[in-house]
Structure 1
């Protein structure tokens, strides 16, 4: 198990574009395992490699079962070189980020997205997501472009700090 340190706002790597992965090899698979160990330890909904200081284009999405509503199966995705190829609709919702601990704000996102990526076997996959899944995918892909959720906030008055003990009860907040 390799839980990596999550870097925080102010670290210049969070503002850099990640490099495309050319070959899915054991090094990339180990990076994916490290991302999974780290996101689980942090109890986040997603994590991008730049958040652990690695400027490579890989993300994990970890939406637990029953997170949105009872009976939801949950989602676990590892996506390499993800690209949004289709987006539609609009939603505005509360977001947070493991790299900006304690801060949350209302962020507009597309309601539906289709993402093209590679899986851990190097095969092309397409993932369609709506609602929370669409939000998490967009948030994590933004990290690969050096964009943080605070950059997307339209109404800065919605940005607020919620101390650790209150974070778990912050309704609909995504810690990605």
Structure 2
């Protein structure tokens, strides 16, 4: 396992639609392990393969706090519901934050690292993170969905008020 460099904007790899994974082998497992290590080392909660330079449909979300690590290979959004606007950031856009409108609920079909199909339902922050990472796999950046950019001190003030 290794920490890889994170691809930051501007870089064309972030704009590419990723290819479907067809080989579920040790190379994929190592990539997922490296992605996880990279995400943790960067204090992130999600990462997609293009953010480490690989244009395949693989992404990870880990909210911590006893939650399971979600590995999504070839994810497909099956259903969404509700809507909310919250502040997002991205490892590929250091120090840029913005309010983004996303569905409150998502249902996804994906494969795990062995190729087994599974279905996942998520709400609120977890749904937002999953949708953010799936967007990366389609070359969609969160900055294309920002309704208002937010300064870091604004975010810190909001957290302090809670």
Q: Give your verdict on TM over 0.5.
A: yes
Q: 2:6 aligns to what SS in structure 1?
A: coil
CA offsets 1:97-146 (integer angstroms, 9 cap, x no match):
00000010000001100010001121001110000010000000000011
The aligned counterpart of 1:50 is: 50
Alignment pair present for 1:146 and 2:139: yes
Which one of the candidate residues 79, 87, 90 is aligned to 1:97? 90
Task: Report the number of matched residues.
Answer: 159
- For structure 2, list consecutive stretches of 5 or more residues without a partner in the other structure: none
Q: 1:22 aligns to what SS in structure 2?
A: coil
Write the distance in 1 (CA, Å) between the matches of 2:143 and 2:157: 17
Which one of the candidate residues 74, 88, 95 is aligned to 2:81? 88
The aligned counterpart of 2:129 is: 136
The aligned counterpart of 1:27 is: 27
Deviation at 1:75, TM superposition (A): 3.5
Write the distance in 1 (CA, Å) between the matches of 2:42 and 2:109: 26
RMSD, aligned α-carbons: 1.7
Write the distance in 2 (CA, Å) between the matches of 1:170 and 1:147: 29
- For structure 1, list consecutive stretches of 5 or more residues without a partner in the other structure: 66-72
Q: Which runs of 4+ in 1 moved over 6 A?
A: none
Which one of the candidate residues 136, 150, 154 is aligned to 1:160? 150
Scaled by the length of structure 2, the TM-score of the pair is 0.92
